Chains A and B, each alone.
Chain A
């Protein structure tokens, strides 16, 4: 099997499996007062420290959640509600056009149900937000930045891999006194990520994108920042996120973060080598292929494990089916719950037309990827593209 969908989820690291399995055999609620509870609490707090250290945060800034989507919801809804409660004028959310749905749909929901307004940050042809664009959004409105509840721009794009100038954007937001959140789930383990140095106020991370377990993540949240909770209950996690702490999950999450961050430089180099090789060879075997995202493949500009192509005349769906039949697993980008691929909002935001968006395919490398994976893709791709093109023509002819 050639698994090239690590941006969706990546295999667990052995350290994470070990950390979790040892916890599965123990009992203890981290909120209990007895010895078993204390033991669980110790594991949770050590994990919190490990994670904080790996990500350049303070332990008190870590709010564990059940994954990236929850952390994004907590950041965007929680900051919006809290900031609006402090000053009812703050109803505007400033957000990039290329966010993951876990941010995008939250913003849309706030607009539809909570009276929010949205300022979309346009991106360039590579999917990048310019700091001047953010500055304009914070100054051009009638209320200047007074009516802004928060800014949210992802660290690196899950589809096309474009890395945002997060620190520069955060500096702009800070200059106007507006808190900024960033979804960094794709960045950890592939890029150096330091929460304190970034200047961000809130940042989303999740375990399963870098070798931790599914279903556990965290929102890194500046200590001075108030957010309105989504989940009410036992008051865990600074009363921001109630719910019994998932000790095994958290232990695995932290163990994976430690390994992923420590090995990040070598891993990035390894992923970039495979990715560069793929990009180069795909261009040879499918000469009219289009590379989406930033053509500058340096890690400051693009995730080292990301390759995202459009194959003119093909439906991404068709290519996926054909490659899947050959044992090659990749992705067409974000799928809706019915499994129907819609043209990617990210590609459309970069100015791509619908045909280019529909004919796109993402290959994402991870820690288990090998050079043979690239060989397999390069070998299978030309025939698949030819077939998919024929199938694409049949629908074009009748459509």
Chain B
């Protein structure tokens, strides 16, 4: 196959590209320039897409012995990922930008361009497995449970999976680093990326405040009593405990958490931990790796990249999906993706639009 390897400048994508070469593919490396104004050097484990990352990716490609180019996707990334991220927060939801990037950039803009240019597949350093099953291409969890990235790939449909290559799914991260060293890849010891790549200082609230400005409002408890004030509801995420700056202590003295964010009324609702427990999830814009859900189906539901997957029953509900959780999940925000698994196989995903809590049937 002719394979386009997306190379971030990190160790995973470098080893993935090298393995694609070993597997006999004709591989071309591409670094995706996503930042509009790339900084010269990366600082620690945060951020990406610096000139240093581009250079590291290029060096790895040289060592592997493949052609290497830089593709400028900054504009697409800005509109499809960054602006989407800001708009979602502004609407009181909690998006996952990595998932959006996979859906719209790596396995859409990049994949489409690659296919048009005569490539057969896009290879990345994601930790997930692709298995050709009787019903087509299956996306499965990685062998390295701690690194498993099937959640952020759960948005890919069958066509996208058919043109994907994840050579690291069967390997432990520690072994990937060791392999990078053996292969003479200088990125072997480079720290992992964390957090949101376009917020290099990790201060999401500050980033949103700069983008969305001040929008002061009230913090209320479940009964509607005002217990504090805030500068912008978008700075809060369901399940958040820190930084609430509450003026009124809880009557029972127990910690309070964000239960809901209402951007139009600029209202943040807080309450006790148990009010965060969610029993039902309503989700929209489902994406299925295979066929759409025909009827109720037993599965496992996961709402966070490294969260727990709990037994559930998923049923089609209009254009969306209704998920009944056997075990309550704590702190599910709208905008998050719920990814559905059968065993370790992803069957689909959808975006959470509403939740039903165990105690209160409220938060949207």
Contacts and interface: CB of A to CB of B under 8 A. Distances in A.
Interface residues of B, number: 23
Contacts of B117: 318, 321-322, 387-388, 390-391
A391 B113 CA distance: 5
Contacts of A280: none
Contacts of B51: 337-338
A339 B50 CA distance: 12
Instruction: Place the interface of chain A in its size category.
Output: 20 to 34
A325 B28 contact: yes
Given A387-B117, A391-B116, A391-B117, A339 B70 contact: yes
B69 interface: yes
A393 B33 CA distance: 20
| Interface of chain A: mostly helix, strand, loop or mixed | helix
Contacts of B54: 338-339
A394 B72 contact: no
Contacts of B69: 317, 320-321, 339
Contacts of A399: 75-76
Contacts of B109: 394-395, 398
Interface in A372-399: 387-388, 390-391, 393-395, 398-399
Nearest to A390: B116
| Interface-central residue, A320, A398, A399, by most chain B CB under 10 Å | A398
A340 interface: yes
B194 to A, nearest CB: 23
A317 B75 CA distance: 16
Contacts of A322: 117-118
B71 A338 contact: no
Given A322-B117, A391-B116, A395-B113, A340 B72 contact: yes
Nearest to A337: B51
Contacts of B279: none
Nearest to B113: A391
Interface string A308-342: 00000000011011101100000000000111110
A321 B112 CA distance: 15
Contacts of A338: 33, 38, 51, 54, 70
Contacts of B71: 317
B67 interface: yes
Nearest to A393: B116
Nearest to B111: A394
A279 B76 CA distance: 34
Interface string A290-324: 00000000000000000000000000011011101
Interface string A166-202: 0000000000000000000000000000000000000
B205 interface: no
A325 B74 CA distance: 25
Interface in B55-95: 58, 67, 69-72, 74-76
Given A338-B33, A338-B54, A398-B76, A321 B67 contact: yes
| Interface-central residue, B51, B58, B109, B118, by most chain A CB under 10 Å | B118
A341 B72 contact: yes
| Interface-central residue, A320, A322, A325, by most chain B CB under 10 Å | A325
A355 to B, nearest CB: 14
B113 A339 contact: no
B180 to A, nearest CB: 22
B67 A324 contact: yes
A338 B70 CA distance: 7
